[in-house]
Amino acid sequence: MIVRKATINDNEQIFSLYKKLAIVPDGIIRNPSEITEQYVSNFLEESIDNGLILVAVNEYQIVGEIHAATPKIYAFQHLLTDLTIVIDPSKQGQGLGKIIFKEFLYVVETSFPHILRVELYTREHNERNVKFYESLGFINEGRQERKIYLSKNCFHTPIHMVWFNPNYDMGYDQK
């Protein structure tokens, strides 16, 4: 398996991966109907242009993807936010998530000195994911009670987690 930066040519395989994961409970915070080619194209282009997107490839097949982007607002130039990681359901539990995530954070540390914060949301009840992110150095910055709507009387509470880049260049200013 190799981990590499994604390209526009990866669009179709990433779309297929998201479609597989959207039907898995607690997979991603998207309904299957929300996983469209346009949705994938948008975050792929945004992450290539204003962030970082990596894919894990096994035998020419994308089996994992991780991305985050910097908002186009001056005050947020030090963020990679809305981080999303997806692993093919048939490959979960084999350490692939940790491999791709560690590579993502390594690239931020070594090639993104202007990034101080990497941010993500995870569901509070998913203790396995919370512990996973904590094992990578993320800290919990707070919860948002019943923010995720599932149905009329069913909500989930996400927690906001952040990782701080130890190699942040305090002198960087994008202006």
Q: Which tokens go with 104? A: 């993502």
Please give the model's pTM, rounded to 2 decimal places. 0.91
The confidence score (pLDDT) of residue 30 equals 78
Q: Which domain holds residue 139?
A: 2-164
Are 26 and 42 in contact by the 8 Å Cβ rule? The answer is: no
- Using 70 as the pLDDT threshold, list the residues of the chain that sit under it: 26, 147-149, 172-175
The confidence score (pLDDT) of residue 128 equals 87
Overall number of domains in the chain: 1
Whether residue 79 lies inside any domain: the answer is: yes
The confidence score (pLDDT) of residue 42 equals 96
Total residues found in the chain within this entry? 175
Whether residue 173 lies inside any domain: the answer is: no
Whether residue 136 lies inside any domain: the answer is: yes
Whether residue 169 lies inside any domain: the answer is: no
CATH of the domain at 7: 3.40.630.30
Dihedral over alpha carbons 160, 4, 102, 97 (to 10 degrees): 70
